[in-house]
Amino acid sequence: MGTLAGHLLPAIGFLVFAVYYSVLTSLALLQEQRVLKHPVLPGKLQGHRLFRQVSYEALTKVVIPILGIFGEYFLPLGVNRLQMIDWKDPRRPFIFKDNWQHVTMFGFFILSGVVDIVSQSHLARWGVKLERAAEALSFYVLVLLMLTHIENKSSLEIRVHLLLLIPSFLLALVLTVEVWDPNSPPFWLLKSWLALVLSSWMFQICEMYVPFTGQPWRAEDPMDHAFLTIFFCWHLGLAIAVLIIIYGLCSLWHFHHSSWTKTPCARYQPCPMESSGEELEKLKAETLAQDGVV
């Protein structure tokens, strides 16, 4: 079933993006934004033409997959899986299939990050649609690779990867629709929820390497197969709960931040009609002084 590290890093990466999109979507809904605004890099980097208006998301799409590629080839330290063909064998067989599939997946996510950087640095009108198209392509590649990733595996491994295909394929479809309609709040919510499901299920796959119960999963046991599907349904509900919690925390921050930014001078204060004569004379003197009349 591969390695724990081979699934843990993608799980962490997908979780980072899922939480990021959930926070971004929650704030956009609270602020009634029509366009999903991504935080950009600090001003020092924005001064360079290449990094003008580049978001943290674009840079993260490049950095995390590069770390993943390094892990696939050289972790644990001392190994080297760069070789694709065993030239010593007369049959010239392909080797390290799973690692090369993971590297291919990481490579398309790097491509998506590069497209984001180029699009955001040039501020093209069609840039957002191009970004969604590149992101959708990376998830279609993920689905395609997972279909062959389950070959020659146990029935339990096939089941867990087929369940992983559900949020991956739905994410690809949502991103495809966003190519034509990128500013639709329902799609923002759907994408955030599916990303949370995908990341949490990746952690469920990691749990199969180190079971909480201390007993390994049994591929020949139909009960393990049944509970695996039950756990996936629980992950669907867990993602909804996490999304609601993130929205609640963002709403608390939004309302507190709004109350801090309000100043007493910004509010309209009507003049009391039953003021004393001294107060009226004082207000009249201040008005005349502002008009330049002595």
Rounded CA-CA distance 36/281 in Å is 52
- Write down the pTM of the prediction: 0.81
Rounded CA-CA distance 17/93 in Å is 37
Q: Is residue 11 a contact partner of residue 160, using CB atoms and an 8 Å limit?
A: no
Residues linked to residue 60 through DSSP beta bridges, in sequence order: none
Q: What is the chain's pLDDT, residue by residue, as a tens digit (294 residues)?
A: 456 666 788 889 899 999 999 999 999 999 888 888 777 776 555 555 555 677 888 888 999 899 888 888 887 777 788 888 888 888 888 888 888 988 999 999 999 999 998 888 876 677 888 999 999 999 999 999 988 888 778 888 889 989 999 999 999 999 999 999 888 899 999 999 999 999 999 999 888 878 877 788 888 888 988 999 999 999 999 999 999 999 999 999 888 877 665 544 444 445 454 545 565 565 556 555 544 444
